[in-house]
Amino acid sequence: MSTAATRFVALEPDEAFARQVIAYKERVRACVGDQVYLSHPPHMTLYASVFPEGADLAGPLGEAAARLSAPRVAIRGWHVFEADQLTGNHTVVCNVTDESLPRLRAIQRAVVECASPVRDRRAAHSCYAAAWERLSAEERQNVERFGFPFAGSIWRPHVTVASIRPDDWAAAWSALEHAAPEADARFVFLSLFGFEGDEPFRIERFVLGDAE
E strand map for the chain: 4-13, 44-52, 72-81, 90-96, 158-164, 182-196, 199-207
On the question of pLDDT at 53 being above 90, the answer is no
**15-18 contact pairs (CB < 8 A, 24+):** 16/183, 16/185, 17/42, 17/75, 17/159, 17/183, 17/185, 17/186, 18/42
pLDDT at 4: 79
Contact in structure between 192 and 9 (CB atoms under 8 Å) = yes
Residue 110, C-beta contacts closer than 8 angstroms, at least 6 positions apart: 64, 67, 68
Residue of 51, 86, 77, 47 lying closest to 190 (CA atoms):
47
On the question of pLDDT at 1 being above 60, the answer is no
How much of the chain, in percent, has pLDDT values that exceed 70? 98
Domains of the chain, with CATH numbers? 4-207 (3.90.1140.10)
pLDDT at 26: 97
The mean pLDDT value for 164-168 works out to 97
Contact in structure between 148 and 48 (CB atoms under 8 Å) = yes
pLDDT at 89: 95
pTM of the complete model: 0.92
On the question of pLDDT at 49 being above 90, the answer is yes
**110-113 contact pairs (CB < 8 A, 24+):** 110/64, 110/67, 110/68, 111/9, 111/46, 111/47, 111/61, 111/64, 111/190, 112/46, 112/47, 112/146, 112/148, 112/151
Residue of 12, 106, 98 lying closest to 67 (CA atoms):
106
pLDDT at 186: 96
On the question of pLDDT at 212 being above 70, the answer is no
Mean of per-residue pLDDT scores for the chain: 92
pLDDT tier at 171 (50, 70, 90 boundaries)? very high
pLDDT at 55: 86
On the question of pLDDT at 138 being above 80, the answer is yes
Worst-scoring range by mean pLDDT, 3-7, 58-62, 190-194? 3-7
pLDDT tier at 33 (50, 70, 90 boundaries)? very high
The mean pLDDT value for 126-146 works out to 90
Give the distance from CA 207 to its chain's centroid: 18
